[in-house]
Amino acid sequence: MNLFGTDGVRGRVGEEPMTPECVLRLAQAAGLVLRHEPKPMVLIGKDTRVSGYLFESALEAGLLAAGVNVRLIGPLPTPGVAYLTKTFRATGGLVISASHNPYMDNGIKFLNGEGGKMDRAFQLAVEEVLARPFRMADSRAIGKASRLRDAQGRYVEYCKATLAAGLDLNGLVIALDCAHGAAYRVAPDVFEELGARLVPMGVAPDGYNINERCGSTDPAALCELVRTSGAHCGIALDGDGDRVVLVDEQGAVVDGDGMLFILATAWARKGRLQGPVVTTTMSNLALEHALARQGIFLVRVEVGDHHVAEGMRQYGANLGGEPSGHILCLDRSTTGDGIVAALQVLEIMMATGQGLRQLVQQYQPLPQVLLNVPLPEPGFSSLGEPRIQQAMADATRMLASRGRVVVRPSGTEAVIRVMVEGIDHNEAQEIASSLAALLQDHRTHD
């Protein structure tokens, strides 16, 4: 059994593993694994999906049945749950969310007591327990549940405190897109209490509109809002608030790579940058070259923010992230945090008096084409087939030093991602389309 992807357990609501029975058993198994402490306690947070109520109850019941105490948080960004998990010295934290996916999907993210992602050893232990019959704790040993009061207020104050002392956002106009997700209350509070004037969108969740034509994966509406409102910048969070992309004053998107460039170069000048910048195979080659020109080294790891976090700890780095907008500032937070990352960039804007366009002008990304090939079933992959391997090798040779090819299964969706970047956009598009067609043909005829 292999339930875990790059960010916990995720799937379509009503289909395994995202059914009430599966989530109940998953929580009970996780509870048994976590019962290495005398009085284990787990915090449960969620985003705004309508199915969150259902899975919150299932997780609560499973953990209580295993003898674990539970504290319910309600809607709060994943990094907020991570912060509170560490603050309250909990054994672990659970977040009910499928991040940037639509409301029909949901998932469970697992956090350790330090607020980071649970490691593979924990996942394997949970899968081992799941293979056994369901076993409930003795009635005297079952857990207790309570609600954590003022969780949102605590997280708001934490976020505000990550801005440099003496700085505020007075005079700044921000178009803020909360994706109708977990940050819909806390994010406006953070930026307004720091003095910014907001032009908000995506702050009216109904359980079904999370990430719908909004958020970090679809910032087109925010780009238009920045242009029409005269905002100094735009901030787009995803459904659970751990991703962010920015929009400059002219309505152009600044993705995670652009944010890494701004932060790395500014931190290096101030002496704040520690170690290399850690990113993934998906980051643009131009970022590596632009940082090198500034004397900053870049290290690549596998896709997934937990791989980035592991790499950062390995290299003693305090800055890392992904082009999707997972930005980790480990001297400010324990995990990717969209609000905190945005504040770090805004801090540079306020301190220098420069807009996003000026701050990012020395980084010009190479054209990059990303295509998704749907899988016929979860876990299916044809990447090991000789014909596919040969096509990928041929494409890499064709681009030579002018670009890169990355083909990998997604850890969050049932697709294979084909990414090709190069100096010539038409060439990159042609190569990506050819590889995607080959994968599609193999998928259809397998």
- Prediction pTM value: 0.90
In angstroms, rounded to a whole number, what is the distance separating the alpha carbons of residues 259 and 323?
9
Active site residue 333: no
The DSSP-derived string for 145-185 is: EEEPTTHHHHHHHHHHHTSPTT---TT-EEEEE-TTSTTTT
Residue pair 126/265 in contact (Cβ under 8 Å)? The answer is: no
Which phi and psi angles does 200 have, rounded to 5°?
-90, 155
pLDDT of 379 reads 52
Q: How far apart are the first and last CA of the chain?
A: 23
Q: Shortest CA distance to 408 belongs to which of 430, 434, 381? A: 381
Q: Shortest CA distance to 369 belongs to which of 412, 413, 433? A: 433
Residue pair 31/65 in contact (Cβ under 8 Å)? The answer is: yes
Residue pair 436/371 in contact (Cβ under 8 Å)? The answer is: yes
pLDDT of 295 reads 97
pLDDT of 387 reads 86
Tell me the helix, strand and coil percentages in the chain, rounded to 5. Answer: 40, 20, 40
Which phi and psi angles does 267 have, rounded to 5°?
-65, -35
Q: Tell me the residue ranges of DSSP E strands in 47-144.
A: 69-75, 92-96, 105-112
pLDDT of 414 reads 78
Residue pair 154/211 in contact (Cβ under 8 Å)? The answer is: no
pLDDT of 413 reads 76
Domains and CATH numbers, the chain: 9-149 (3.40.120.10), 170-252 (3.40.120.10), 255-365 (3.40.120.10), 368-445 (3.30.310.50)
Q: Tell me the residue ranges of DSSP E strands in 211-367.
A: 233-237, 244-247, 253-254, 277-280, 298-301, 319-321, 327-329
Residue pair 62/23 in contact (Cβ under 8 Å)? The answer is: yes
pLDDT of 441 reads 78
Other beta carbons within 10 Å of 293: 10
Which residue in this structure is represented by tokens 């705004």?
A: 48
Residue pair 42/70 in contact (Cβ under 8 Å)? The answer is: yes
Does the N-terminal peptide bond of residue 40 adopt cis geometry, omega within 30 degrees of 0?
no
Which phi and psi angles does 48 have, rounded to 5°?
-105, 10
Active-site annotation holder among 51, 97, 99, 324: 99
pLDDT of 250 reads 97
Cα distances (angstroms) measured from residue 217 to each of 4, 144, 204, 246, 425 = 23, 38, 18, 11, 21
Per-residue pLDDT of the chain (446 residues; tens, 9 = 90+): 678 887 889 999 999 999 999 999 999 999 999 988 778 999 999 999 999 999 999 999 999 999 999 999 999 999 999 999 999 999 999 999 999 999 999 999 999 999 999 988 999 999 999 999 998 999 999 999 999 999 999 999 999 999 999 999 999 999 999 999 999 999 999 999 999 999 999 999 999 999 999 999 999 999 999 999 999 999 999 999 999 999 999 999 999 999 999 999 999 999 999 999 999 999 999 999 999 999 999 999 998 888 999 999 999 999 999 999 999 999 999 899 999 999 999 999 999 999 999 999 999 999 889 999 887 665 556 677 888 888 888 888 888 777 889 898 877 777 889 999 988 889 989 999 999 988 887 665 55
